[in-house]
């Protein structure tokens, strides 16, 4: 498993973890923001009116209302990224990473507007009469190359096939596997429910919902999304009120080190600007999926007589998902103070690195060296060989890094008894460790565990962890529901509607087995699948930029003719 995890990490370093992807994603958002003259601001109020159904027509075709499409898309994006993802971003990049998450969301409002408009415009109806849409359809219909002799090269078709295949893969990597892992981890930590039991119960519920297709899915999501948002908001408010004196300092910390990186504080080693920027943008994309091309599949099902109105509805999605919910989670983590505190916890092997020498947390030179090592700078020597453990304690003068922090008070145990023996280490990583041996100590924690601890620093006290557990279950489960729809529309595109049932069965089975699989590996897999979808989609919307602008202008011309009493924006 360690070798698989290392492969994912190495591959990610050349793809989503590399600077080119971050700049490509942000650059596309910046380009369309200026090219379309800030539609995320100019059309915001109009989008709210559309969601309310003010301009609906009885003749509109589709499977869902505007609100149901928005709720389904939100249920796909509002998931572990809002609870565990924000915690992971701050854990990796410090408070500055949250700023870059928010900026990514603001630009993503425009990117999503563009991709949804195009996907809705070129949607199809499958052989069962259901809407089937998404970026693969505009790619197939609009991105072919016509030569001078009028010969057409089916480049768009193959790009659409690649995107659809990536979406199926991503439905497991983003939509299913990390979601159920977060749920099962949370249920075990909070209620002591075994992972496999959580996975079994939720797999049955998931099967009952997704077999009914989009009509049954929207009946669940349009009620589930508002309910889970209210529950989470109340819980978060309890933390913020309890730690009211830290609200202003927390907000300041988000902005004060934006261009310099987050400084070392408490157990947090510190993060460079490049590292905080990269983590914030990546976590922002994982949270709101702007540019990834997933949400347009849900929005394509909306009843509308033209595509731009649904594109405007999608503007609200990154705003709600990231600017409101992720910002709320970020303030909770920062104001509670848990983000840089070392907590006694059981270490995950994949989060451990053994340095060859001893480094002291209170020594500023040592902290500097470790920070550069963790942030891609000058590497420190790592241990290679066998570690000697006596009565649960390390004998060699080495440093154990866990969750990007210098671990303290480390104890090895074997079936709850102090362990004596050796532990094999290769290139700083522990290998071949028997499952009966556990490593515990004090270190930083991340993901859902960090948010859970933060919610206990609340006016609700220990009850706060139950709010997180319920929130994770609702958020993550709703994400899995929506992603099953994204995957089955991609199966329809590639093979036809009759094969969707086989995909749904596989989706449920994978969901079950993921409930007791290593979290770190699943997170790293999900980062790869995001890139495989985003790159062809971003290329596609950039190539069709002129068509997007002309489609928007025509929308306002038609709207003005139908509603002459309403003032419309100027032509772009």
* pLDDT grade for 60, boundaries at 50, 70 and 90: confident
pLDDT digits (tens, 9 = 90+) for 132-158: 899 999 999 999 887 777 787 888 999
User: How far is 103 from 97, CA to CA, in rounded Å?
Assistant: 10
DSSP state of 443: E
Residues 513-520, mean pLDDT to the nearest whole number: 76
Give me the pLDDT at residue 519, please: 57
**Polymer length in residues for the chain:** 572
Q: Please report how many Cα atoms fall inside a 13 Å half-sphere around the Cα of residue 349, on the Cβ side.
A: 22
What the block records as the tokens of 548 is 């997007």
pLDDT digits (tens, 9 = 90+) for 314-324: 999 999 988 99
Q: Do 177 and 522 form a contact (C-beta atoms < 8 A)?
A: yes
Range in 23-27, 80-84, 219-223 the model is least confident about: 80-84
DSSP state of 515: T
Model confidence at 422: pLDDT above 60: yes
SS3 call for 52? coil
* pLDDT grade for 216, boundaries at 50, 70 and 90: confident
Helix pair 135-142, 155-173: axis angle to 10 deg: 170
Residue 142 CB burial class (10 angstroms; 0-12, 13-18, ≥19): middle
User: How far is 261 from 281, CA to CA, in rounded Å?
Assistant: 14
Give me the pLDDT at residue 402, please: 96
Give me the pLDDT at residue 88, please: 86
Q: Please name the residues in contact with 242: beta carbons below 8 A apart, sequence gap of 6 or more.
A: 457, 458, 459
Model confidence at 354: pLDDT above 90: yes
Model confidence at 62: pLDDT above 90: no
> Does residue 214 or residue 506 have the better pLDDT?
506
pLDDT digits (tens, 9 = 90+) for 372-397: 999 888 999 999 999 999 999 999 99
Helix or strand run (H / E) with residue 3: helix 2-14
pLDDT digits (tens, 9 = 90+) for 489-510: 999 999 998 899 999 999 999 8
Model confidence at 433: pLDDT above 70: yes
Mean pLDDT in the chain? Answer: 89
Residues 191-212, mean pLDDT to the nearest whole number: 92
Beta strands in 316-445, from DSSP E residues, in sequence order: 343-346, 352-355, 385-390, 393-394, 399-402, 405-406, 408-414, 417-418, 421-426, 429-430, 437-443
SS3 call for 414? strand
What the block records as the tokens of 328 is 């709320």
Phi, psi (degrees; rounded to nearest 5) at 94: 80, -175
Q: Do 339 and 91 form a contact (C-beta atoms < 8 A)?
A: yes
540 alpha carbon, distance to own chain's centre = 22
User: How far is 96 from 89, CA to CA, in rounded Å?
Assistant: 9
Please give the share of the chain, as a percent, with pLDDT higher than 70: 98
Give me the pLDDT at residue 475, please: 82
User: How far is 53 from 309, CA to CA, in rounded Å?
Assistant: 11
Cβ-based neighbour number of residue 490 at 10 Å: 29
Model confidence at 410: pLDDT above 70: yes
* pLDDT grade for 523, boundaries at 50, 70 and 90: low
Domains of the chain: 2-341+455-562 (1.20.1740), 345-443 (no CATH)
Cβ-based neighbour number of residue 205 at 10 Å: 14
Phi, psi (degrees; rounded to nearest 5) at 145: -100, 125
Give me the pLDDT at residue 48, please: 96
Tokens 């890139």 map to which residue? 531
Beta strands in 349-420, from DSSP E residues, in sequence order: 352-355, 385-390, 393-394, 399-402, 405-406, 408-414, 417-418
How does strand 385-390 pair with strand 393-394? antiparallel
> Does residue 2 or residue 423 have the better pLDDT?
423
Model confidence at 522: pLDDT above 70: no
Please give the share of the chain, as a percent, with pLDDT higher than 90: 56
Give me the pLDDT at residue 296, please: 94
DSSP state of 38: -
pLDDT digits (tens, 9 = 90+) for 156-199: 999 999 999 999 988 988 778 878 887 887 788 788 899 999 99
Radius of gyration (Cα) for the chain, nearest Å? 24
Q: How far is CA 483 from CA 168, 213, 407, 526, in A?
A: 9, 12, 37, 13
User: How far is 494 from 488, CA to CA, in rounded Å?
Assistant: 10
Tokens 């994982």 map to which residue? 286
Cβ-based neighbour number of residue 9 at 10 Å: 16
Tokens 């993901």 map to which residue? 447
Give me the pLDDT at residue 328, please: 93
pLDDT digits (tens, 9 = 90+) for 266-301: 999 988 888 888 888 877 776 788 889 999 999 999
């Amino acid at each position: 498993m360690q070798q698989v995890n290392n492969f994912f990490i190495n591959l990610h370093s050349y793809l989503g973890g590399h600077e080119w992807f971050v700049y490509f994603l942000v650059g596309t958002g910046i380009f369309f923001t200026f090219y379309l003259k800030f539609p995320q601001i100019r059309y915001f109020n109009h989008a709210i009116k559309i969601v309310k159904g003010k301009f609906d027509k009885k003749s509109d075709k589709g499977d869902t209302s505007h609100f149901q499409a928005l709720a389904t898309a939100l249920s796909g994006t509002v998931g572990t990224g809002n609870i565990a993802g924000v915690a992971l971003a701050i854990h990796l990049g410090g408070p500055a990473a949250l700023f870059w998450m928010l900026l990514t969301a603001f630009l993503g409002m425009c990117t999503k507007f563009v991709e949804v408009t195009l996907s809705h415009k070129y949607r199809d109806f499958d052989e069962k009469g259901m809407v089937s849409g998404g970026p693969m359809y505009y790619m197939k219909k609009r991105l072919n190359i016509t030569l001078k002799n009028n010969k057409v090269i089916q480049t768009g078709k193959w790009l659409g096939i690649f995107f659809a295949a990536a979406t199926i893969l991503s439905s497991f990597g983003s939509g299913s596997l990390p979601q159920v892992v977060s749920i099962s981890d949370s249920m075990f930590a909070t209620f002591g429910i075994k992972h496999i039991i959580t996975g079994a119960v939720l797999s049955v519920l998931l099967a009952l919902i997704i077999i009914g297709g989009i009509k049954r899915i929207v009946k669940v999501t349009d009620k589930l999304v508002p309910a889970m948002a209210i529950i989470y908001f109340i819980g978060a408010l309890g933390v913020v009120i309890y730690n009211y004196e830290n609200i202003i300092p927390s907000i300041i910390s988000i902005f004060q080190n934006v261009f310099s990186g987050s400084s070392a504080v408490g157990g947090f080693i510190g993060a460079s600007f490049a590292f905080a920027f990269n983590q914030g943008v990546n976590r922002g994309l994982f949270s709101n999926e702007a540019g990834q091309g997933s949400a347009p599949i849900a929005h394509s099902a909306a009843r509308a007589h033209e595509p731009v109105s649904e594109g405007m509805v999608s503007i609200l999605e990154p705003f709600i998902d990231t600017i409101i919910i992720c910002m709320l989670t970020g303030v909770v983590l920062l104001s509670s103070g848990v983000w840089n505190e070392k907590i006694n916890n059981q270490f995950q092997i994949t989060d451990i690195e053994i340095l060859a020498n001893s480094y002291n947390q209170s020594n500023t030179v040592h902290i500097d060296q470790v920070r550069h090592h963790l942030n891609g700078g000058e590497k420190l020597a790592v241990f290679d060989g066998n570690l000697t453990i006596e009565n649960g304690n390390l004998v060699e003068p080495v440093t154990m890094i866990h969750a990007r922090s210098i671990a303290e008070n480390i104890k090895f145990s074997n079936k709850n008894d102090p362990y004596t023996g050796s532990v094999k280490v290769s290139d700083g990583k522990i290998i071949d460790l028997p499952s009966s041996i556990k490593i515990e100590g004090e270190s930083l924690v991340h993901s859902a565990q960090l948010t859970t601890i933060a919610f206990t620093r609340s006016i609700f006290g220990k009850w706060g962890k139950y709010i997180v557990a319920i929130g994770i279950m609702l958020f993550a489960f709703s994400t899995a529901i929506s992603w099953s729809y994204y995957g089955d529309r991609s199966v329809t595109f590639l093979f036809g509607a009759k094969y969707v049932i086989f995909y749904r069965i596989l989706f449920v089975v994978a969901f079950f087995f993921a409930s007791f699989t290593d979290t770190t590996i699943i997170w790293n897999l999900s980062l790869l699948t995001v890139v495989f979808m985003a790159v062809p989609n971003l290329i596609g919307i950039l190539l069709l930029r002129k068509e997007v602008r002309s489609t928007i202008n025509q929308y306002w011309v038609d709207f003005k003719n139908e509603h002459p009493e309403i003032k419309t924006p100027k032509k772009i």
